[in-house]
Amino acid sequence: MVNYANELIEFEGCPGCAYHRHEFTLPCGMAYENELINMSQDWKLPIPGFFVITPNRHVEVFSELTEEERNEIFKIASITIQVMRENKICDAYNVIFEEKKNCHFHVWLMPRYEWMKNLAGNITMNIGAIFSYAKENMRVPETYQKINETTMILKRSLEKGN
Ligand SMILES: [Zn+2]
């Protein structure tokens, strides 16, 4: 698979587990990790402020998460959205919990930007069109720079807050 900057990501087995073990990395680096969860810019989508939280443990469905993991995911999601708002990166988010067979459980923090509304109208209904647009049109140095900055802002806030 390729990352948001169109570079090849190589790993063996489950990508979520490999990322937790730092077997591959992203140009922007990890935004946050602790003993339960980790969070990064979405690996594949060149959309600044789009973060993915995963439990470190290989879990496939929501109900397999421990109470501690659930609490941590909600806490980090809430802080992240607040930090993005305070830093005027994005003021509205959709939070998506994705369960897929044979896939490491993850939570998407998806920013809702004006350009998405202009492009797709109802963002939730047209999520595929937004992702395709981003992959085709936003793989540019300005986006990568913004992703680095956004990750850095979040990293600093989480280091301070925890
Ligand atoms: Zn896994």
SS3 150: helix
Average confidence (pLDDT) over 80-100:
94
Predicted confidence (pLDDT) at residue 162 exceeds the cutoff of 70: no
What DSSP letter does each residue of 75-129 carry, written as one string? HHHHHHHHHHHHTTS-S-EEEEEE--TTS--EEEEEE--HHHHHHHSSTTTTHHH
Predicted confidence (pLDDT) at residue 100 exceeds the cutoff of 90: no
Question: Residue 50's closest CA among 81, 22, 17, 25?
Answer: 81
Domains delineated in the chain: 15-161 (3.30.428.10)
pTM over 0.85: yes
Check residue 134 and report its DSSP letter: H
> Separation of 126 CA from ligand 1 center, angstroms?
28
Q: At what angle do helices 67-86 and 141-161 cross, to 10 degrees?
A: 120
Predicted confidence (pLDDT) at residue 102 exceeds the cutoff of 70: yes
Average confidence (pLDDT) over 52-67:
96
Task: Give the C-alpha separation, 17 to 88, whole Å.
Answer: 32
Span 122-159, pLDDT tens digits: 888 899 999 999 999 999 999 999 999 999 999 999 99
> Separation of 98 CA from ligand 1 center, angstroms?
14
Check residue 56 and report its DSSP letter: S
Predicted confidence (pLDDT) at residue 50 exceeds the cutoff of 60: yes
pLDDT of residue 132: 96
pLDDT of residue 101: 87
> Separation of 70 CA from ligand 1 center, angstroms?
16
Task: Give the C-alpha separation, 126 to 119, whole Å.
Answer: 9
> Separation of 44 CA from ligand 1 center, angstroms?
17
Share of the chain above pLDDT 90, in %: 90
